[in-house]
Amino acid sequence: MTTIVADGDAIDMDALTAEQRDGLDIGVIGLDAAGTIVSFSEGASALTGLSSDAVVGRNYFREVVPSTNVPSFFGRFLSGTRRGQLDESFDFVFGRMPQPLRARVRMRRGDAVTWLTISPVETLGAGQPREAVMAAIGRRVRAEPVDPQLCEREPIHIPGSIQPNAVMLAADAGTLEILAHSTNVRDVLSRAPERIAGLPLSDVLPSAFVETIRQRLASATLDDGRSIRRTLKLAGDDRASYYAIVHAHSGRVIVELELEPEHPEDFRVATQTDSELAVTRLRAAETLNGAARIAALEVRALTGFECVLVYRFDGDWNGEAIAEDKVPDWSRALLGLRFPASDIPAQARALYTKAKSRFVIDRDSVPVPLVAAPAAGNGPIDLTFAQHRTLSPIHLEYQRNLGVNGSMSISIMVEGRLWGLMIGHHRHPHYVAPETRAAATVLTDAFAMRVQEIEARRLWTERQAHLDTEGRLVRGLTRSDDFVAALTAGSTTLLHLFGSTGAAIVSGTRATLIGATPPEEAVRAIGDWLKQTLAPAETTYADANFPTQCPAAAAHREIASGLLAAFVDESREHLLLWFRPEVSSTVTWSGDPRKPVLAGSGPVAVLPRRSFERWVEERTGFATPWADWQVSLAGSLAHAVEGVVLRQRRKIDELTGLLAEKERLLAQKDLLTREIDHRVKNSLQIVSAFLQMQRRQVTDPAARQAFADTSARVMSVARVHDSLYQAENVEEVDLGQTIEALCADLAGMAGGGHAVDLTAEPGLMVPYRKAVALSLIATELVTNAFKYAAKPEGVGRVAVTVSGHGAGTVRLRVCDDGEGLPEGWSETKPRANGTGVGLGMKLIRAMLDQINARLDVDNAPGACFTITA
């Protein structure tokens, strides 16, 4: 520590010559009313490292030492000049002369110029963390990458210091007793007692203000990032106004006080109108990029940063500058560049999700430590929500590497998530007034809302279109029993979903492909791989570079780098797949993203990369990523397929099974019926044979005849059963065939040259009952004809005709060549030449009645019987 004891306050500069001023070991600078340097002493050169030639004619506050372009320095100058009365002395810490320096500053209006004298008080270290970083930079030997996760371990919420533009008091939230304060507290509380720690807040702050704090604490409305903001005057200083911001966190009330500009226009303080106009212009933006461009421009206009960037995080927390608005003379361009996630480590992102903004006036300013009262005891003060928290020294080194001094970052929160940052950069220190900071934060919020609106509308439209497509596909499914065809053929197919360029369905061992897909066998192999890879509870899969995971896809990344897949059924028989091609992309990183972090030394293990040169990565095997809603829509479509098709198919399969069973039973019944017919026929033949045998044993001609008749009747029934047995259908018989066989039997049984001339229409099918009845009738009529119509020589010919007679009606005609029926013959009367009507005619009548048939009799010339049934 060096102490120089010259007292600039005591010297009248107007009385000295230039040489005399140069002889002083303090800095003496002459300024005009605007702050332009008119003279610069050798002492000033020694302190700043700048030559007089280099600075004369330039504005001291704005250009030469811009860290003084703050209300407490330039603000005092402007106010005093405006009043025409300026004589002020105060302490100021210059963060970067060649060495950080605490100095006594005097500004006094002289005869022609305003004299600025700078008397060094002490040279300073930059504070522990910054010293350590600087030391590590000096010793940096290796440049190989180290684990970026080391960055996440820095506890940035408890740095133990604040930026020098403000003063901090931390009090117990229960007792409102001061527990800790920044060491510069006397800059604003000049009349406070020696020891501030332990005092009640109300001893140093206006009591009405403390009362407000108490009330807000009581109503629990001062934590979680909420705050009280007020402009205050403090005891002992009528002129200065302080911007006070108070919040509560972790059991402490934290008060930050910052000198306000006396004249807002000196520091381009944003007005309400500025903000309103900016918000109006932002609302008019239609696209995301358009809104980002307007936001960058408006925030820059408001805050005066040389460059404002809209920085957007991706899903992996890498980021990209999507809009950039900057002064034309700054050639550095960050627009479109990507930055690895480790540039803004996880704990910083977590903190930015809670606290909305960070402003740094001077990267090289000397942090002001917080000192705690002995009673504070319970750990460091958590500065998560503090406005003036000092930023991580490693990050400040990053800013240095980026060529940035004054900076800002405001969290862009979209739907509760840190979407990005509004970043401000200035090559020199840059002060932004409290109201302007608040306005920039409001504008950033307005941008976040516009983003939300634009994104929500885009998403809504896109989703709506997809739901329509899905609806059409599902309707197609319900109308088709081939779900594969329903989804892959026709005017709407799987290809109309998710911006895919290829799609496929694996169903069992078959794969159906549409669009650009890997070949069928590869698609099947991908299906098998999915079956094995996907956990049993999972039904969907989505990856934008899946060939690196799935060997079967490795050869097809050009057309299928992205895969979205959904299993249809639990047994994973059926699978829907969508493919997206490789997006041949070059990603331009700012610096090599594999080496974001370099090894430091000593207590500082890691340092940020030094180079932000464009570093182009050829990305291969990457498709456009799938959105979460697309994955769930794919899942729901697969579910619909299962619902509509597979369950329906299962039902059909069930019914088909039942039908087959019924047919099998029917066939069995057929077989049984035939078997029965066969047996019945056999039995009847046996009975008929018995009757024939018995006939031969009796001698009585009437009895013999009776036996013969009965045998013939039994035979005729047997014939029908035989026909049934042989027929295709167990219900119907071919009447012609049956009657033909019957007549042959009857002629055979009658013997003695009896013959039947049969004319039968082929294929006349009649039901079983009708066939039996007609057979019995035919038996009676033919045997009768044999009996009665025989010529005297003993042999008669009988003509039998079987023919169709309109729909479902048949005609059986039996005619003999005898003399014909006598006049007045009736069924019920015996024939003239014979015995009674007997059983024969009765049986015929019974049969006719049974089948509802008609009998017509005529002589043509022999007797003719015609049955229409």
Provide the binding-site residues for ligand BLA, judged by CB under 6 A: 151, 154, 156, 309, 311, 319, 321, 334, 339, 342-345, 348, 358, 391-392, 394-395, 398, 407, 409, 421, 423, 596-597, 606, 608
Burial tier of 371 (Cβ tally within 10 Å: 0-12, 13-18, 19+): middle
Minimum CB distance to ligand BLA smaller for 387 or for 507: 387
**Cα-Cα end-to-end distance for the chain:** 138
C-alpha closest to that of 298 among 435, 456, 441, 417: 441
Smallest distance from the beta carbon of 142 to ligand BLA, in angstroms? 15
Smallest distance from the beta carbon of 636 to ligand BLA, in angstroms? 38
C-alpha closest to that of 152 among 589, 597, 595, 590: 597
Alpha-carbon Rg for the chain in angstroms: 56
Q: What tokens appear for 161 in the block? A: 């210091």
Minimum CB distance to ligand BLA smaller for 154 or for 256: 154
Q: Are strands 502-507 and 417-426 parallel, antiparallel or unpaired?
A: unpaired
Minimum CB distance to ligand BLA smaller for 342 or for 444: 342
Q: What tokens appear for 106 in the block? A: 């005097």
The C-alpha angle with vertex 380 and arms to 378 and 386, in degrees rounded to 5, equals 125
Smallest distance from the beta carbon of 188 to ligand BLA, in angstroms? 25
Minimum CB distance to ligand BLA smaller for 77 or for 339: 339
Q: How far is CA 775 from CA 566, 741, 866, in A?
A: 70, 10, 14
Contacts for 293 with CB less than 8 Å, ≥ 6 apart: 285, 323, 325
Is the bond preceding residue 120 a cis peptide, omega within 30 degrees?
A: no
- Encoded amino acid at 396, one letter: L
Smallest distance from the beta carbon of 350 to ligand BLA, in angstroms? 10
Helix (H) or strand (E) holding 401: helix 393-402
C-alpha closest to that of 559 among 506, 522, 508: 522
Minimum CB distance to ligand BLA smaller for 596 or for 635: 596
Minimum CB distance to ligand BLA smaller for 366 or for 727: 366
**Beta-ladder partners of 604:** 601
Smallest distance from the beta carbon of 152 to ligand BLA, in angstroms? 8
Smallest distance from the beta carbon of 303 to ligand BLA, in angstroms? 13
What is the edge-to-edge ordering of all strands in the sheet holding 368-372? 161-162, 368-372, 178-182, 166-172, 252-259, 237-249, 228-234
Rounded distance, CA 534 to CA 75, Å? 66
**Beta-ladder partners of 759:** 801
Minimum CB distance to ligand BLA smaller for 607 or for 623: 607
Minimum CB distance to ligand BLA smaller for 356 or for 580: 356
Smallest distance from the beta carbon of 34 to ligand BLA, in angstroms? 32
Rounded distance, CA 837 to CA 374, Å? 144
Minimum CB distance to ligand BLA smaller for 589 or for 707: 589
Contact between 84 and 140 under an 8 Å Cβ cutoff? The reply is no
C-alpha closest to that of 390 among 138, 125, 62, 155: 155
Minimum CB distance to ligand BLA smaller for 349 or for 831: 349
Smallest distance from the beta carbon of 41 to ligand BLA, in angstroms? 37
Minimum CB distance to ligand BLA smaller for 342 or for 512: 342
Smallest distance from the beta carbon of 495 to ligand BLA, in angstroms? 39
Smallest distance from the beta carbon of 391 to ligand BLA, in angstroms? 4
Q: How many residues does the chain have?
A: 869
Minimum CB distance to ligand BLA smaller for 398 or for 615: 398
Minimum CB distance to ligand BLA smaller for 300 or for 395: 395
Smallest distance from the beta carbon of 168 to ligand BLA, in angstroms? 16
C-alpha closest to that of 718 among 686, 751, 748, 743: 686
Smallest distance from the beta carbon of 398 to ligand BLA, in angstroms? 5
Q: What tokens appear for 838 in the block? A: 């007997």
Q: Are strands 562-567 and 604-608 parallel, antiparallel or unpaired?
A: unpaired
Q: What tokens appear for 375 in the block? A: 């009673």
Smallest distance from the beta carbon of 585 to ligand BLA, in angstroms? 20
Contacts for 297 with CB less than 8 Å, ≥ 6 apart: 308, 325
